[in-house]
Amino acid sequence: MKKLPIEIPKLLSLLGIVFLVILFWNTVFIFPLKLLVVLLHEISHGLAAILTGGKIVSIEVNMNQGGLATTIGGNRFFIISAGYLGSMIWGGTIMVLASRFSFDRQVAMVLGVGLALVGLIYVANFSGKAFTIAFSTLLI
Protein backbone atom coordinates (compact mmCIF):
# COMPACT_ATOMS: atom_id res chain seq x y z
CA MET A 1 0.00 0.00 0.00
CA LYS A 2 1.35 3.40 -0.99
CA LYS A 3 1.90 5.84 1.87
CA LEU A 4 0.11 9.20 1.62
CA PRO A 5 2.31 12.33 1.79
CA ILE A 6 0.37 13.48 4.89
CA GLU A 7 -0.98 11.41 7.77
CA ILE A 8 -4.76 11.07 8.04
CA PRO A 9 -5.00 12.71 11.53
CA LYS A 10 -3.13 15.79 10.27
CA LEU A 11 -5.30 15.95 7.17
CA LEU A 12 -8.46 15.71 9.28
CA SER A 13 -7.12 18.44 11.60
CA LEU A 14 -6.47 20.74 8.65
CA LEU A 15 -9.90 20.04 7.20
CA GLY A 16 -11.43 20.72 10.61
CA ILE A 17 -9.65 24.06 10.79
CA VAL A 18 -10.86 24.97 7.31
CA PHE A 19 -14.43 24.05 8.31
CA LEU A 20 -14.21 26.20 11.47
CA VAL A 21 -12.79 29.16 9.56
CA ILE A 22 -15.65 28.95 7.05
CA LEU A 23 -18.21 28.57 9.85
CA PHE A 24 -16.89 31.58 11.79
CA TRP A 25 -15.81 33.68 8.75
CA ASN A 26 -17.82 36.82 9.60
CA THR A 27 -17.14 36.77 13.32
CA VAL A 28 -14.71 38.45 15.68
CA PHE A 29 -12.78 35.16 15.95
CA ILE A 30 -11.53 35.26 12.35
CA PHE A 31 -11.14 39.05 12.10
CA PRO A 32 -7.49 39.05 13.32
CA LEU A 33 -6.60 36.44 10.71
CA LYS A 34 -8.18 38.57 7.99
CA LEU A 35 -6.09 41.55 9.13
CA LEU A 36 -2.99 39.34 9.17
CA VAL A 37 -3.66 38.42 5.54
CA VAL A 38 -3.99 42.12 4.67
CA LEU A 39 -0.69 42.83 6.44
CA LEU A 40 1.09 39.99 4.64
CA HIS A 41 -0.42 41.21 1.35
CA GLU A 42 1.01 44.70 1.90
CA ILE A 43 4.35 43.35 3.11
CA SER A 44 4.54 41.35 -0.13
CA HIS A 45 4.17 44.55 -2.16
CA GLY A 46 6.97 46.07 -0.10
CA LEU A 47 9.26 43.06 -0.47
CA ALA A 48 8.73 43.09 -4.23
CA ALA A 49 9.75 46.74 -4.28
CA ILE A 50 12.91 45.99 -2.33
CA LEU A 51 13.78 42.94 -4.45
CA THR A 52 13.45 45.01 -7.64
CA GLY A 53 15.54 47.95 -6.45
CA GLY A 54 12.91 50.09 -4.73
CA LYS A 55 12.09 50.76 -1.11
CA ILE A 56 9.13 50.80 1.25
CA VAL A 57 7.88 54.21 2.31
CA SER A 58 5.04 53.01 4.53
CA ILE A 59 2.45 50.30 5.06
CA GLU A 60 -1.08 50.78 6.34
CA VAL A 61 -3.55 48.19 7.62
CA ASN A 62 -7.06 49.45 8.27
CA MET A 63 -9.75 47.92 10.44
CA ASN A 64 -12.06 47.73 7.41
CA GLN A 65 -9.68 45.00 6.14
CA GLY A 66 -8.02 47.29 3.64
CA GLY A 67 -4.42 48.24 3.33
CA LEU A 68 -1.89 50.31 1.43
CA ALA A 69 1.78 49.81 0.69
CA THR A 70 3.52 52.96 -0.46
CA THR A 71 6.78 52.26 -2.27
CA ILE A 72 9.35 54.19 -4.30
CA GLY A 73 11.22 52.72 -7.25
CA GLY A 74 11.36 49.08 -8.20
CA ASN A 75 9.52 47.25 -10.95
CA ARG A 76 5.87 48.33 -10.91
CA PHE A 77 4.63 45.10 -12.56
CA PHE A 78 6.24 42.89 -9.88
CA ILE A 79 5.21 45.20 -7.05
CA ILE A 80 1.55 45.21 -8.10
CA SER A 81 1.53 41.46 -8.76
CA ALA A 82 3.14 40.63 -5.43
CA GLY A 83 0.13 41.31 -3.18
CA TYR A 84 -2.12 38.34 -3.85
CA LEU A 85 0.71 36.07 -4.91
CA GLY A 86 2.63 36.95 -1.76
CA SER A 87 -0.37 36.32 0.51
CA MET A 88 -0.75 32.89 -1.04
CA ILE A 89 2.96 32.09 -0.67
CA TRP A 90 3.03 33.30 2.95
CA GLY A 91 -0.05 31.23 3.83
CA GLY A 92 1.19 28.10 2.08
CA THR A 93 4.65 28.39 3.60
CA ILE A 94 3.32 28.90 7.12
CA MET A 95 0.89 25.99 6.73
CA VAL A 96 3.54 23.60 5.40
CA LEU A 97 6.15 24.58 8.00
CA ALA A 98 3.67 24.31 10.85
CA SER A 99 1.98 21.09 9.77
CA ARG A 100 4.76 19.01 8.23
CA PHE A 101 7.63 19.78 10.55
CA SER A 102 8.04 19.85 14.29
CA PHE A 103 9.18 23.45 14.62
CA ASP A 104 5.84 25.26 14.59
CA ARG A 105 6.81 27.29 17.68
CA GLN A 106 9.96 28.50 15.97
CA VAL A 107 7.92 29.49 12.90
CA ALA A 108 5.56 31.49 15.13
CA MET A 109 8.53 33.14 16.87
CA VAL A 110 10.27 34.14 13.63
CA LEU A 111 7.01 35.40 12.13
CA GLY A 112 6.25 37.33 15.31
CA VAL A 113 9.66 39.01 15.40
CA GLY A 114 9.46 39.80 11.68
CA LEU A 115 5.99 41.31 12.01
CA ALA A 116 7.09 43.34 15.05
CA LEU A 117 9.98 44.81 13.08
CA VAL A 118 7.72 45.63 10.13
CA GLY A 119 5.19 47.17 12.51
CA LEU A 120 7.76 49.34 14.25
CA ILE A 121 9.59 50.43 11.10
CA TYR A 122 7.03 50.62 8.30
CA VAL A 123 3.41 50.53 9.52
CA ALA A 124 2.30 54.16 9.55
CA ASN A 125 -1.29 54.28 10.83
CA PHE A 126 -2.14 53.84 14.51
CA SER A 127 -4.65 51.00 14.16
CA GLY A 128 -2.34 49.08 11.83
CA LYS A 129 0.63 49.56 14.14
CA ALA A 130 -1.43 48.52 17.19
CA PHE A 131 -2.70 45.41 15.42
CA THR A 132 0.75 44.45 14.13
CA ILE A 133 2.44 44.84 17.50
CA ALA A 134 -0.38 43.02 19.36
CA PHE A 135 -0.48 40.13 16.88
CA SER A 136 3.30 39.80 16.78
CA THR A 137 3.38 39.77 20.60
CA LEU A 138 0.87 36.89 20.62
CA LEU A 139 2.99 34.97 18.12
CA ILE A 140 6.17 35.50 20.12
**Segment 98-131, tens digit of pLDDT:** 777 777 888 889 999 999 999 999 999 999 999 9
Query: What predicted TM-score, i.e. pTM, was given to this entire model?
Result: 0.86
Distance CA 131, CA 72 (A): 25
The per-residue pLDDT for 1 is: 60
Task: Of 96, 46, 120, give the one whose Cα is nearest residue 134.
Answer: 120
User: Crossing angle, helix 8-23 and helix 76-100, to 10 degrees?
Assistant: 130
Number of residues assigned to the chain? 140
Amino acid found at 41 = H
Burial of 78 (0-12, 13-18, 19+ CB in 10 A): middle
Output the pLDDT for position 78: 97
> What values do phi and psi take at 4, rounded to 5?
-70, 150
